[in-house]
Amino acid sequence: MLYSIMLFLHIIGTVIMFIAVGLTIAGMIGMLHSKKTETLRVWASLAVKADGLLPFSVIIIFLPALYLVITSWGWQVAWINLSLAALIFMLVMGPSINLRGLKAILRAADAETANTPSTNLVKTVQNRLLWISVITMTALAIAIVFLMTVKLALIGSLITFAIAVVLGYITSTLILKSAPTVH
């Protein structure tokens, strides 16, 4: 019974994570295409709030996962070890890159006085590192769910994460290329 409850909490944490990620990315895309500063400000506020949920969701994922590993799976399973390492990586990098970058955009938008976003504000929104980080972490989260389902050995798990990183980079590059140009 406790196993089932922990698995349920683990899945709920994952659902919360993907809701937060979806709202963060929606906010970022909204900012990227905003023609009015106030609209950009609203999208930035949404992205900051949604991204702030991610550490909470990772904790909800991580604690039950530890229970599941300790009581049932063990530490010798490659996809589990790599997935836990990826979660820890995201727990550290998310606040230090993603949330910091999103808060910088919100501060810049709050300081903006013009009706249309300035060139500097648009460049802040188009922060390449932020986009690569958010989209790549999203791809890593999808890779973790894939590995939880398919349960690949070490080489397959490593290939899965490598594909996620490459797809994250390519996707973020394509999104930024579709953005309006800065004058």
In this prediction, residue 146 carries a pLDDT of 97
- Please state, rounded to an integer, the average pLDDT across all residues of the chain: 94
Cα–Cα distance measured from residue 159 to residue 165, given in angstroms and rounded to the nearest whole number? 10
Domain boundaries, the chain: 2-177
What pLDDT is recorded for position 183? Answer: 54
Mean pLDDT lowest among 31-45, 49-63, 111-125, 160-174: 49-63
- State the pLDDT at residue 110: 96
| Interatomic CA distance for residues 164 and 139, integer angstroms | 5
Read off the pLDDT band of 182 (50, 70, 90). Answer: low
- Residue 163, pLDDT above cutoff 70: yes
Cα–Cα distance between 27 and 98 in angstroms, integer?
Answer: 13
How many other CB atoms are there within 10 angstroms of residue 123's CB atom? 12
Q: Angle at the Cα of 82 (from 80 to 87), degrees rounded to 5?
A: 90
Tokens matching residue 66: 């530890």
Q: Closest Cα partner for 98 from 139, 71, 137, 142? A: 137
Report the alpha-carbon distance of residue 183 to residue 174 in Å, rounded. 20
Please, where are the H alpha helices in the chain?
2-32, 37-68, 78-93, 100-111, 119-125, 128-150, 154-177
The answer to whether the Cα torsion of 175, 25, 85, 151 is positive or negative is negative
For 72-82, the pLDDT digits (tens) are: 999 999 999 99
What's the predicted TM-score (pTM) here? 0.91
Residue among 105, 123, 108, 92 nearest 24 (CA)? 105
- Secondary structure of 15-66 in HEC code, one letter for each residue: HHHHHHHHHHHHHHHHHHCCCCHHHHHHHHHHHHHHHHHHHHHHHHHHHHHH
Give per-residue pLDDT as tens, 47-86: 999 998 988 898 899 999 999 999 999 999 999 999 999 9
